[in-house]
């Protein structure tokens, strides 16, 4: 059976903002949320397919959702810029209403050993992967607290796990730092807003053959057996923003773990 939009799905009436949604994980999450009735705001720097070295664009994602019968809005935002972050949330609220779900998936990544890492790239990575998630949360939290309802989901990586001392590496120390900081932010925020019925979780996808992963040479013949379908990530991300917030918050978890723990079956996505 082909994937369809269920306007009465588990996210019916919810407004979801997803960053880094021009391709890969962000686009897959947008499709899955839309299929469950959410009004989806997809954001990234890339508007059109062909505007970036990697394939994909937020206009394409939004159009795919709309043509399937769902509601979607594309809002270009450079997460490194405060006014872009503020415009993303204000535009989302003006178009669809208060934000119920925020998915911080946007990232910029460079790989280089510490002794060669430039200050400019270090600050850019920390700003986009950590501070942007923090600031966007600040922008949506007042409304969530007032309504006593909301979900924030941050996308991390296995890179946050401390490596063995003899593991070597391919220049991913700063990337791991960013994701570790994001995880600690997530659990701290979850504790802060628990009494307000707001769920905050952080999830790592495992190894998914996204355009970005391929570009950074993370996908090889040796990784084939360890790869996770992007549909598993989108299904896990759906589960973490639905149901009772008080019962599912403060998690530092992984897509495959959520799939197994809750016996989930990945749904086909409208873009496939």
The β-bridge partners of 198 are 150
Mean pLDDT of the chain: 91
Q: What percent of the chain has pLDDT over 70?
A: 89
Check pLDDT > 50 for residue 219. Answer: no
Check pLDDT > 50 for residue 37. Answer: yes
Higher pLDDT, 48 or 226: 48
Residue 134 zone, left/alpha/beta (φ > 0; ψ -120 to 50; rest)? alpha
Check pLDDT > 80 for residue 185. Answer: yes
pLDDT in tens, 102-138: 999 999 999 999 999 999 999 999 999 999 999 999 9
Catalytic residue among 31, 33, 131, 175: 175
Please give the pLDDT value at position 51. 58
Q: Is 194 a catalytic residue?
A: no
pLDDT in tens, 71-104: 999 999 999 999 999 999 999 999 999 999 999 9
Q: Where are the domains of the chain?
A: 15-261
CATH architecture of 15-261: 3-Layer(aba) Sandwich (3.40)
Q: How confident is the model over 189-204, as a mean pLDDT?
A: 98
CA angle 238, 134, 208 (to 5 degrees): 40
């Amino acid at each position: 059976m082909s994937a369809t939009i269920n306007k009465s799905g588990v996210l019916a009436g919810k407004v979801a903002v997803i960053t880094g949604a021009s391709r890969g994980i962000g686009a897959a999450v947008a499709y899955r949320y839309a299929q469950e009735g959410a009004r989806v705001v997809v954001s990234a720097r890339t508007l059109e397919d062909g505007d970036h070295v990697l394939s994909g664009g937020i206009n394409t994602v939004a159009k795919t959702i709309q043509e399937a019968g769902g509601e979607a809005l594309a809002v270009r935002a450079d997460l490194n810029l405060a006014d872009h972050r503020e415009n993303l949330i204000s535009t989302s609220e003006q178009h669809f209403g208060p934000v119920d779900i925020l998915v911080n998936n946007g990232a910029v990544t460079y790989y280089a050993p510490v002794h060669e890492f430039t200050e400019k790239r270090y600050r850019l990575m920390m700003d986009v992967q950590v501070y942007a998630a923090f600031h966007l949360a600040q922008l949506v939290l007042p409304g969530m607290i007032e309504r006593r309802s909301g979900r924030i989901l941050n996308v991390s990586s296995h890179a946050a796990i401390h490596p063995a001392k003899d593991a070597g590496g391919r220049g991913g120390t700063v990337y791991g730092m960013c994701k570790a900081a994001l995880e600690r932010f997530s659990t701290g925020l979850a504790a802060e807003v628990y009494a307000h019925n707001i769920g905050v979780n952080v999830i790592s996808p495992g190894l998914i053959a996204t355009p970005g992963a391929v570009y950074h040479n993370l996908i090889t013949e040796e990784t084939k057996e360890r790869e996770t379908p992007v549909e598993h990530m989108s299904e896990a991300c759906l589960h973490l923003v639905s149901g009772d917030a008080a019962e599912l918050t403060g998690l530092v978890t992984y897509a495959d773990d959520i799939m197994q723990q809750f016996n989930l079956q990945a749904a086909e996505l409208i873009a496939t």
